[in-house]
Amino acid sequence: MSTLKAIRGTRDLLPPETALWNRIEATARSVFARYNFGEIRTPVFEDTALFARGVGEETDIVSKEMYTWEDRARAQSEKTQTLTLRPENTAGVVRAYIEHQLGESGQLQKLYYIGPQFRRERPQKGRYRQFSQIGAEVIGPVSAGSESPLRDAEVLEMLATLLDELGISGWTLQLNSVGSSADRERYNQALREALVPLAPQMCVDCQRRAVTNPLRVLDCKVPADQPIIETLPRIADSLDADSVAHFAAVTAALDAAGVPYTRNHRLVRGLDYYTRTTFEFTHGGLGAQNALLGGGRYDGLSEMIGGPRAPGIGFAMGEDRLVLTLLALEDAAAQVKVDAYIAPLGENMNAAALNLARELRHVGLHIELGDGSFRLKKSFEAADKTARCIVILGEDEVKSGILTVKTFATGIQTKVARAELAAFLSE
């Protein structure tokens, strides 16, 4: 029988690396709380129509990367539905915003999420079919200030703070504006015309995009196409006065807060819902998959999926890529040793050892418990691998209340009264 393995593009996360994942999530939660974001958890699968409408039929995600299936009706009262594993979380958050009428409060909704997303992409380093995103959205009625450029700047400043607190140095913030949907329409037209004579000299993907979705040509990575792309019109020249002023206010606030950025005229992002500010944080340590996170403003998204007018801005960070970056920067997942290893001398000491471990764990110490069937040599070897100290527990120790503790770093063996043990191990 062939052995079963995790599906291509999925993977098991194991200790000690999972400690790093937990540290990243704890840091994100701490930063989000300081900026007054609350957590939202939406279902992992949704009606396929949500992504078709919310992400866009023309995008790579919807056209070829979604895990979609027919969910058969189990009763007369049910309908057979077409469902999809979420490829991203913004559409789900906006659906929840609409469904729970969160806009009725008149307040901005500031929501964050942490969880798995699914895309049928070609797996490679930093690109998986199940991956985890940490994201946040600021969304609400216009009267709550949801269109304000200050919201964009605050989200970007929060991201700079989060990356700094995670210890990810050397990131670059790439910033652009794709304008209003009218600006984008104008730009699409300008691009389409400019591409008529140029597309035949470009890669096959670009030849297709030039017709179906000209904006996507700007994402092309084929080296030979780059000089041609540089000659194309820039979206900055298609923006109306409001979009120009909005972008200027975002950059002015970033300058005031000392958040560095570079303008990237080609940053149009892969999803159809973006308007005005778009951004990506990249990191050189990641190689080809260099985007740590991406996001932008999506002023028309709520209406696209049948909701009220609710402008918003958000981002999604690739948690897998944060982990890769930190692993490259330091030995971030190094095994941390527990405070002590309790070694019972003989199986008749196992119960007493469990009780001692329980006492020490109750006061917050990290304890590994050995087994009385091990020879002393084996206990020492196991302890040296996992703990800073070994505590020997035999009949004499239980009777006298004096325990023998060896500290591996110094090699010193000490007699410690049981009542003093927790304090000794805490040092």
Residues 6 or more apart whose Cβ sits within 8 Å of residue 417? 401, 402, 403
- Nearest approach in angstroms of CB 61 to ligand ATP is 7
* Paired residues of 360 in beta bridges: none
Distance CA 275, CA 8 (A): 35
Piece in contact with ligand ATP (CB under 6 A), picked from 124-132, 165-173, 195-203, 237-245 = 124-132
Strands 338-344 and 387-393, how do they pair?
Answer: parallel
Could you say which of 95, 276, 321, 406 contacts ligand ATP (CB under 6 A)?
321
- Residue type for 389, please? C
Phi, psi of 164 (to 5 degrees): -65, -45
**37, 56, 49, 45: which is closest to 274 by C-alpha?**
56
Could you say which of 47, 121, 205, 371 contacts ligand ATP (CB under 6 A)?
121
Token duo for residue 130: 């199940």
**Between residues 88 and 147, which has the closer beta carbon with respect to ligand ATP?**
88
- Nearest approach in angstroms of CB 23 to ligand ATP is 18
Instruction: Tell which positions 37-66 bind ligand ATP, by CB under 6 A.
Output: none
Distance CA 229, CA 218 (A): 7
Calculate the alpha carbon distances from 187 to 179, 182, 199 in Å.
9, 9, 17
Site mask for ligand ATP (CB under 6 A), range 216-255, x = bound: ----------------------------------------
Q: Is 270 in the site for ligand ATP (CB under 6 A)?
A: yes
**215, 281, 277, 268: which is closest to 244 by C-alpha?**
277
Q: Which residue is nearest to ligand ATP (CB)?
A: 318
**Between residues 91 and 345, which has the closer beta carbon with respect to ligand ATP?**
91
Q: Is 289 in the site for ligand ATP (CB under 6 A)?
A: yes
Give the SS3 label for residue 288. Answer: coil
**177, 187, 199: which is closest to 265 by C-alpha?**
177
Piece in contact with ligand ATP (CB under 6 A), picked from 78-86, 175-183, 289-297, 363-371 = 289-297
- Nearest approach in angstroms of CB 154 to ligand ATP is 19
**14, 89, 11, 106: which is closest to 335 by C-alpha?**
14
- Nearest approach in angstroms of CB 321 to ligand ATP is 4
Could you say which of 159, 316, 356, 398 contacts ligand ATP (CB under 6 A)?
316
Token duo for residue 241: 């006065």
Piece in contact with ligand ATP (CB under 6 A), picked from 162-170, 251-259, 313-321, 394-402 = 313-321
Sign of CA dihedral 101, 102, 107, 109: negative
Q: Is 127 in the site for ligand ATP (CB under 6 A)?
A: yes
**Between residues 275 and 379, which has the closer beta carbon with respect to ligand ATP?**
275
- Nearest approach in angstroms of CB 120 to ligand ATP is 9
Piece in contact with ligand ATP (CB under 6 A), picked from 119-127, 158-166, 328-336, 390-398 = 119-127
Instruction: Tell which positions 374-413 bind ligand ATP, by CB under 6 A.
Output: none
Q: Is 292 in the site for ligand ATP (CB under 6 A)?
A: yes
Token duo for residue 355: 């009780």
Strands 367-369 and 338-344, how do they pair?
Answer: parallel
Q: Is 88 in the site for ligand ATP (CB under 6 A)?
A: yes
Piece in contact with ligand ATP (CB under 6 A), picked from 27-35, 106-114, 122-130, 379-387 = 122-130
Q: Is 291 in the site for ligand ATP (CB under 6 A)?
A: yes
Piece in contact with ligand ATP (CB under 6 A), picked from 145-153, 186-194, 290-298, 417-425 = 290-298
Phi, psi of 198 (to 5 degrees): -95, -35
Rounded to a whole number, what is the distance in angstroms from the first to the last CA of the chain? 53
Contact 19, 336 (CB under 8 A): yes
Instruction: Tell which positions 130-149 bind ligand ATP, by CB under 6 A.
Output: 131, 133
Distance CA 310, CA 392 (A): 65
Residue whose token pair is 């699409």:
188
Q: Is 119 in the site for ligand ATP (CB under 6 A)?
A: yes
Instruction: Name the residues that contact ligand ATP, by CB under 6 A.
Output: 88, 119, 121, 126-128, 131, 133, 270, 289, 291-294, 316, 318, 320-321
